[in-house]
Structure 1
């Protein structure tokens, strides 16, 4: 089938990252995918070699009108994260749907959450009453962490690749001079507690190498030399998605942000701290607490998340071996619960087949 995925960039790593993984997963299953993105610039480094079966289209009105006039209509229309697809593409899709041509589905792919409403709303219809899609029905598809939701993305061979991963060889390929010290990755916005984390790592009895991702994390890091007490810092270039996954596999502790890297941290099975995308009304506080409850986070991990996300004041829990061991156990248990469920792509294709 032909799938059109529409994405408007808010956080260009997370939004594009999720849509690109979804598009590649569909193409791997033999589907033909057009990925419409209003700002595809991040794909230049995130996916420099592209992917067979996935066509990326810079989403402009002109491009949408041209494709609507010259290209086949999609069989499945996905609006990612509440964006409204191009009207001309909707009109072409709707014309085919009204004729009953092939199988058709219109999916509103929502944000990932562990909050209770996700199970209630997942799969519900959303009738369209105006515009070029008038008379058709969308369906909500909510990613989530339980069997009653849309699940999370996972490649069929992901865990096998994880098991074969050679940390030392990968680090050497990246030019990172690893001497056996603890490794931590930093992918964040601008957490107020970052200075406290750096001070703790500098004063630790155990050496740590912090691998800092390009962009906002690097800009947020307090200025200083590459070696600061027990802390050594390596600044990374922008990494393709596949290498970012391997960065998480290589590290003993991962600081991640947004939606896509949270899921990848879960699959990595190492201790992690999530900086959730901040919202003006602090709705992200409830979302974070719902996730921590699902993850059965130990108290130290719960408290660290609250401080890292600006939900209170205090001193960050100390990252000693016992603390990280309890975090690792929680991460592995959460991963095991997800592995016992179908992945998002399997559920999505089954859902579309049932609704068509």
Structure 2
């Protein structure tokens, strides 16, 4: 809530005749807004209304959406907080399908599951409690929006 109160406020330098201004991006009125591609909304709507486009995405990822699961895309580097997050999802009341591209986070997550390092290839699926972690191929930047929409 404080962002709109502080956006665009001046910050004079204490010794020099310089004035900086705070800029806070955001969706709320009184913030600096956010940049996005002009056709992104239409592309999202087209993707969400096309079973074929969604099926193509899942095929490229080598998996399928799990029914009634919260789908999460986990793109990260090795992180000391990751084990606690995975435990929270495992022990939570909601089924979670965590899609993680092969790489450092997938290796760390697989180790948390107790899986051998060779099981960190795309197509790997590991489940404990309400958490299903699925290793997916690395998604190119231009296709990442589809993953987020899905």
Q: TM-score range by the shorter chain?
A: 0.5 to 0.7
Counterpart-to-counterpart distance in 1, 2:97 and 2:113:
16
119 and 239 in structure 1: CA distance in 2 versus 1, 3 angstrom threshold: same
TM-score, normalised to structure 1, is: 0.30
SS of equivalent to 1:235: strand
Residue in 2 that maps onto 1:177 = 63
Counterpart-to-counterpart distance in 2, 1:223 and 1:126:
49
Shift in Å, 1:168: 0.9
* Preserved CA contact (<8 Å) 1:125 1:140: yes
Which of the residues 181, 194, 197 maps onto 2:89? 197
Which has a greater percent of helix? 1
The 5 Å alignment of 1:151-170 reads: 151-165=33-47, 166-170=53-57
Residue in 2 that maps onto 1:125 = 10
SS of equivalent to 2:113: coil
Counterpart-to-counterpart distance in 1, 2:140 and 2:83:
24
Shift in Å, 1:147: 0.9
Q: More relative contact order in 1 or in 2 (CA 8 Å, sep 6+)?
A: 2
The 5 Å alignment of 1:200-215 reads: 209-213=97-101, 214-215=103-104
Residue in 1 that maps onto 2:145 = 245
SS of equivalent to 1:177: coil
TM-score, normalised to structure 2, is: 0.61
* Preserved CA contact (<8 Å) 1:167 1:249: no
* Preserved CA contact (<8 Å) 2:73 2:147: no
223 and 123 in structure 1: CA distance in 2 versus 1, 3 angstrom threshold: same
Shift in Å, 1:217: 5.8
Which of the residues 19, 22, 40 maps onto 1:140? 22
Q: Which runs of 4+ in 1 moved over 6 A?
A: none
* Preserved CA contact (<8 Å) 1:186 1:217: no
158 and 128 in structure 1: CA distance in 2 versus 1, 3 angstrom threshold: same
Q: State which structure, 1 or 2, has the greater radius of gyration over its C-alpha atoms.
A: 1
RMSD (Å) for aligned C-alpha atoms: 3.4
Shift in Å, 1:198: 2.7
Counterpart-to-counterpart distance in 2, 1:162 and 1:239:
17
Residue in 2 that maps onto 1:344 = none
- Unaligned 5+ segments in structure 2 are 48-52, 116-124
* Preserved CA contact (<8 Å) 2:126 2:133: yes
Shift in Å, 1:160: 0.6
Shift in Å, 1:224: 4.5
Deviations 1:291-336 (A, max 9, x none): xxxxxxxxxxxxxxxxxxxxxxxxxxxxxxxxxxxxxxxxxxxxxx
